[in-house]
Every structure is written in structure tokens, then in C-alpha cells.
Amino acid sequence: MKKQIGIIFLLLVGAASLPLAAQPMADKEAQKKTAQTSHQGAGKVVSVDRAKSRIKLAHDPIKSLGWSAMLMDFSVAKASLLDGLKEGDAVRFELGKSKPEDLVWMIVKIERR
């Protein structure tokens, strides 16, 4: 029983770290680049959740962050940024942070291409 609890604990700890793993940083150079206050990206809208102020994008590589092309969910700084966006739209976007110490990037600007 104790062994099973230990295994469950390790699985939960591993699952809790997944959101951080979604934002990989290749090396120290990539970490220095993230000191920028914003980053530009482009991609395609996969889904929009206006109720949660979130958007899922299939984005191209974002070299300034050391990110490869991937599918990601992003929060948006203001729900109104999602107005007029729909699945399949090609977009350009800007990532920023609420506070410099935040780990998670959010969309602060987005427009159709």
C-alpha cells in the first residue's frame, strides 16, 4: 500500500510540472533571450474559449524564446483580444507577461494575417 501511495505521489508531482515543460528553454542563450519583455509569433487558431479568455494556437517556431513549432493554449491579457477570431484564422501575436517574474507567457496582442 505504501509503495502504491509513493508511486501515485511521484506521478502527481510529475504531472504538476507538465505546464512548465510546455515552455522549453534549450540553453542559457535561450534563457537570456527570454529576458525580453515581449516576443512575436505567428500561427493558426485551433480553438477559442471566450469564457476562459484562452486560445489554442498551432504556432510557428518562436526563435526568440527557443521554442519549436507546437500546439499550445494561451491565456489572453483581455478577453476582447479574442473578438472576431475563429478556428482556422492565420494570426500574428505578441507574447508578454503580467509581471516580469511570471513564468507563463500570455497573448497581449493578436491580429489576423
Q: Residue ranges of the domains in the chain?
A: 25-112
pTM of the model: 0.69
Residue 19 near residue 43, CB atoms below 8 Å? no
108 DSSP assignment: E
What tens digit of pLDDT does each residue of 2-61 get?
666 656 665 665 655 555 555 555 555 555 555 678 999 999 999 999 999 999 999 999
Between 8-12, 89-93, 100-104, the lowest mean confidence (pLDDT) is in 8-12
C-alpha distance from residue 23 to each of 5, 20, 62 (Å) = 29, 6, 11
CATH H-level superfamily of 25-112? Copper binding periplasmic protein CusF (2.40.50.320)
**91 forms bridges with which residues in the sheet?**
43, 112
Distances 26 to 32, 35, 48, 61 between C-alpha atoms, Å: 11, 14, 29, 13
